[in-house]
Amino acid sequence: MENKIYDYVIVGAGIAGCSTAYFLSRHTSNILLIDTNTSVAGGASGAAGAFLSPLLGKNNPFKTLVTKALKFSTQFYHDNFSDCIINNGVLRIPKDDTDREKFKTYDHDFNFVIKDDGYFFPIGSLISSTKLCLNLTTNINKLLGFNVDKIQFTDDLWSINDKIKTNNLILCTGAYVDFLPKYVQIRPVWGQRIVCKTAKLLTHNYHKECSVSLSLKNDYDNDTKKPYLISIGATHHRLVLEKKCDNSFVFPNFSTCNHCPTGCKEDTDKLINLANDIVKLDDLEVIEAYGGARASSYDYFPIVGDLVDDKLTLEEFPYLKNGTHVQSNRFTKYKNLFVLNGVGGRGFVLSPFLAKELVEHIIDGKKLDEDIKSERLFKRWVKK
């Protein structure tokens, strides 16, 4: 490996990194996908409920992005990974009467019908998250269970741990931002999903204050009294980095929540209560719990494309700190360093669409929307 030079190395094998690897593989096979976990989707992507659902509200740039991504990603999954998507619709239930009145004022981009206690969107779908990430990267070289300790640019190549060399480096590291410029500020948000056995047959997905999946056949232990499996998922906590004695920072350790019987008991009980507020599931038996830190930017938009070299840009334009305007296209960028991050709780909606956009930007020079470029974050940070 030490003597090989890759065309692309992608750090991070969640849905963002796996989607990027898939679209890059249409142009080259000389790709390496790296992750600290021992499997793809080993963090937040594997813990995700992986629901595809419309963003409700009045029209705004973020809603436009999510709508565009949902249309693309749903069709992409159907066309390429039909065994990883179940399209049975989602029933969106207002939280209260105020929420119900708001719904009447929303701009809707997808068809819906009034049903039961809410609004049914046929486009709503459920993704098999780990299976999808495995299928996206079937033909991709992987280095899993590998900790990236050092990244540097020398002799026109990116070097990782002084061993792996690549012409282009793409960071899809989610909530772990050690190697991103300091202006790329990420809010880690703890998400949890529990898998439960039940006798209740649910024919579609539900969403209120949590998401409840449709029922799948229970091949877990062939329990005839509880023949179905459902998943219940929600976002719980904003995480705060903990400082270690060596002055580095880590996230609170929630790793015991993955594949354990009960997960964080308080959060698990909360999920069950929220789910029962949607549909009565009194016979639930929790068999697995998953958790992970979802990565969201402070303005909710993802971060895609080139990264601004803050040091060189400020050396050339020191008056940026005083609020003087400089056109973004004049900023100095790190050479052959790219990012796809900050997809938050909508990773399986946004990632395929954004990965396609990123790869077309890298290969063909396609322009990216200003709302998702790193320049917006740099300009905001430099004025503080």
Token output for 218: 């229970």
Query: Is residue 248, in this structure, part of any structural domain at all?
Result: yes
C-alpha distances out from residue 268 to 181, 257, 289, Å: 35, 10, 8
Query: Is residue 36, in this structure, part of any structural domain at all?
Result: yes
Indicate if 146 and 203 belong to the same structural domain. no
Please indicate whether residue 258 or residue 293 has the higher confidence score (pLDDT). Answer: 293
Indicate if 179 and 37 belong to the same structural domain. yes
Query: Is residue 225, in this structure, part of any structural domain at all?
Result: yes
Query: Is residue 119, in this structure, part of any structural domain at all?
Result: no
Q: What is the pLDDT of residue 2?
A: 55
Please indicate whether residue 91 or residue 223 has the higher confidence score (pLDDT). Answer: 91
Indicate if 272 and 141 belong to the same structural domain. no
Q: Which of 297, 323, 343 is the last residue of a domain?
A: 297
Of 338, 56, 367, whose CA–CA distance to 173 is shortest? 338
Query: Is residue 34, in this structure, part of any structural domain at all?
Result: yes
Please indicate whether residue 218 or residue 3 has the higher confidence score (pLDDT). Answer: 218
Indicate if 177 and 162 belong to the same structural domain. yes
Rounded distance, CA 343 to CA 106, Å? 23
Please write the tens of the pLDDT for every residue from 236-288.
655 444 444 444 334 444 444 444 444 567 788 889 999 999 999 978 999 98
Query: Is residue 72, in this structure, part of any structural domain at all?
Result: no
Indicate if 191 and 286 belong to the same structural domain. yes
Query: Is residue 87, in this structure, part of any structural domain at all?
Result: no
Indicate if 270 and 350 belong to the same structural domain. no
Rounded distance, CA 314 to CA 96, Å? 49
Rounded distance, CA 367 to CA 356, Å? 12
* Confidence band for 222, pLDDT divided at 50, 70 and 90: confident
Q: What is the pLDDT of residue 227?
A: 95
Q: Which helix (H) or strand (E) holds 304?
A: strand 303-308
Please write the tens of the pLDDT for every residue from 35-57.
999 999 998 899 889 999 999 99
* Confidence band for 93, pLDDT divided at 50, 70 and 90: very high
Query: Is residue 88, in this structure, part of any structural domain at all?
Result: no
Q: Which domain holds residue 289?
A: 187-297
Q: Tally the domains of the chain.
A: 2
Indicate if 219 and 365 belong to the same structural domain. no
Indicate if 192 and 325 belong to the same structural domain. no
